[in-house]
Amino acid sequence: MLLVGRARTGDRNAFAELVIRRQVWMRNLMRRCCGDAVLADDLAQQVFLTAWRTIPQLQRPSRFAAWLKRIAVNVWLQHARKNDPLKAANEYELTTQPSRDATSIGLDLDRSLAALSEKERLCIVLSYHERMTHAEISEFAGLPVGTVKSHIRRGTQRLQQLLSAYLDSPPVEEPNDN
């Protein structure tokens, strides 16, 4: 909170520290949203740039994480509106060999998520990656709760189908190697 307070007054070093502390979370979130590591990093940078420009308007420093997440969702939605999020949907091949390392699991997951519509993907990512409730997702994405629920239900069914290879041997959480 102290760092956020200092960053609000234009302290560059404080903001740099915030970037270092939040970058893993932000980049992972954007990777799940867009499925492309390079693009995800670019979008994550845009999120932090927007945060730097608008941080003086942040009223409650304790809400920094939620505020940053909201910027991330907006950046992703803006990007998705300009690009065709479904273009990769038909390129996906079903996973036949379940992976064990985080990078490969991430790739399989991202490819499967690419088969979902932009809204379905956002709802799924906010639910599973951010562990947000339906009401929170509804508020963040600007969608009715019922729509959020149906997006999550349909998205979950599609992912279960695409990632069925993992059903027999679900991944065990291991320490990351990179």
CA distance 123 to 125: 6
CA distance 165 to 132: 26
Q: Is the distance from CB of 71 to CB of 144 less than 8 angstroms?
A: no
Using the rule CB under 8 A, give the single segment among 37-45, 63-71, 72-80, 115-123 that binds other proteins: 37-45
Among 28, 117, 147, 150, indicate the residue that binds other proteins (CB under 8 A): 28
User: Using CB atoms within 10 A of its CB, is residue 146 exposed (0-12), middle (13-18) or buried (19+)?
Assistant: exposed
Using the rule CB under 8 A, give the single segment among 11-19, 54-62, 71-79, 80-88 that binds other proteins: 11-19
Among 54, 83, 160, 161, indicate the residue that binds other proteins (CB under 8 A): 160
User: Using CB atoms within 10 A of its CB, is residue 113 exposed (0-12), middle (13-18) or buried (19+)?
Assistant: buried
Among 41, 74, 88, 154, indicate the residue that binds other proteins (CB under 8 A): 41
Nearest C-alpha neighbor of 115 from the set 85, 81, 148, 77: 85
Among 6, 14, 45, 61, indicate the residue that binds other proteins (CB under 8 A): 45
Q: Which tokens belong to 117? A: 């519509």
Note whether 61 binds other proteins by CB under 8 A: no
| Tally: H helices and E strands in the chain | 9, 0
Q: Is the distance from CB of 139 to CB of 69 less than 8 angstroms?
A: no
Note whether 67 binds other proteins by CB under 8 A: no
**What string marks each residue from 91 to 110 as x (binds other proteins by CB under 8 A) or -?**
-----------xx-xx-xxx
Among 59, 91, 97, 170, indicate the residue that binds other proteins (CB under 8 A): 170
- Residue 143 vs 152, nearer CB to other proteins: 152
The stretches of 55-117 forming alpha helices (DSSP H) are 64-82, 102-113
| Interface contacts to other proteins, rule CB under 8 A | 12, 15-16, 19-20, 23-24, 27-28, 31-32, 41, 44-45, 48-49, 52-53, 102-103, 105-106, 108-110, 127-129, 131, 133-135, 152-153, 156, 159-160, 163, 166-167, 170-174, 176, 178
